[in-house]
Amino acid sequence: MPEKYVVAWDFAKKPSGTFYRVLLDEFGTSHPGGDYELIQRSVALCRNDFIASRLTALAEHFGARVASFRVEREGIQPESTKEAREFVERVLYQRLHRRGRRRSKAMR
């Protein structure tokens, strides 16, 4: 799996439309497998560090606070996924129990 980067930006106030027009003109449309994919309006998954650094510089130029991260190949380990599901099951059960309800069929 090739390296990917996540770039997230936050504007103190709504950015001008120019930011998004330049984003579209210089980077093209957002789509999976392209140079970048918008995950949210202010979070992008970038194909490589070259695209991530350009996107970071563009957002900073327009006054955004920006954070960028390299995505690890391994992702979430199976043990962590199992523990997370058990956590959700336990928390939801406790919440229902406090309310005097039983577990739903979906949680059994």
Over residues 5-38, the pLDDT tens digits come to 999 999 999 888 899 899 999 998 888 888 999 9
Mean pLDDT of the chain: 87
Q: Measured on CA atoms in the order 91, 92, 94, 95, is the torsion positive or negative?
A: positive
The DSSP bridge partners found for residue 9 are 66
What pLDDT shows up at residue 67? Answer: 97
- What residue ranges do the domains of the chain occupy? 4-71, 78-107
Which tokens belong to 88? Answer: 């959700």
Q: What percent of the chain has pLDDT over 90?
A: 51
- Global pTM? 0.71
Q: How confident is the model at residue 106 (pLDDT cuts 50, 70, 90)?
A: low
Pick the CATH number of 4-71 from 3.40.50, 2.20.25, 3.30.70, 3.10.450: 3.30.70
